[in-house]
Amino acid sequence: MLIAIPDLLDAAAVARLRARIDAAEWIDGNATSGHQSALAKRNEQLPEDSPAARESGALILDALAAAPLFVAAALPLKVFPPLFNRYAEGATFATHVDAAIRIRRGSDFRIRADLSATLFLSDPADYDGGELVIEDRFGPQRVKLPAGHCVVYPASSLHHVTPVTRGCRVASFFWIESMVRDDGARRLLFDLDAGVQAAAASLGAGDPAVVQLTGVYHNLLRRWARV
């Protein structure tokens, strides 16, 4: 399931975050690459243990926890501390698949990467190219969202970032370990949850059908979730 999370950060939050990370020192983006990614990646990255990355990442984690659409879609168990990358003119990231297990350097924190996420921190008008292209079962999906918007998609997907031909593309990226490992099961739960919310808005939360459907949702979650 590929889903956009609009306005995860508002314009003021994006401006504060950009002021913090733009003033920091950036390094070669292959600092956190696996073997396959290192062959494909040409961009810059904030060191993951830098104060700017840690403080900005904490802001994003707080925003994710307060975003109902993200929680409903991802059913997150753990979120890898957000990282930050920058694509200047000519920078690109060729087709690759994200590593299945992500380990935070210098710690015992690790997750199974069920979902990948990109939070756009540059307005689309500020750069040409730089689209995130995700290979979906319905064909390639090209994603270039407004600053503050986020896209979440299966980490198992082949994807790439097209070359930037003008300006600079700045984004945060991270991975999620979901309570529900199977993407198809997460999709069903997300659709069911949306249906329950719509029925509750129309009929009232206490309507017997809404109560029954809510029970079905939680019993499926109980069957599929691992915590």
Residue 218 marked in a binding site: no
Residue 159 marked in a binding site: yes
Residue 215 burial by CB count (10 A; 0-12/13-18/19+): exposed, middle or buried? exposed
The three-state secondary structure class of 64 is: helix
pLDDT tens for 211-225 read 999 999 999 999 999
**pLDDT value of residue 42:** 84
Which residues does 27 contact at the CB level (< 8 Å), separation at least 6?
44, 45, 46, 47
Task: With 0.85 as the threshold, say if the pTM is over it.
Answer: yes
Residue 35 marked in a binding site: no
pLDDT in tens, the chain (227 residues): 899 999 999 999 999 999 999 999 999 866 655 555 555 678 999 999 999 999 999 999 999 999 999 999 999 999 999 999 999 999 999 999 999 999 998 889 999 999 999 999 999 999 999 999 999 888 999 999 999 999 999 999 999 999 999 999 999 999 999 999 999 999 999 999 999 999 999 999 999 999 999 999 999 999 999 99
**pLDDT value of residue 137:** 83
Q: CA–CA separation, 174 vs 151, rounded Å? A: 11
Place of tokens 């999620």: 176
**pLDDT value of residue 105:** 86
What domains can be seen in the chain, in order of their start residue? 3-178 (2.60.120.620), 183-224 (4.10.860)
Sign of the dihedral through C-alpha 76, 150, 169, 10: negative
**pLDDT value of residue 41:** 74
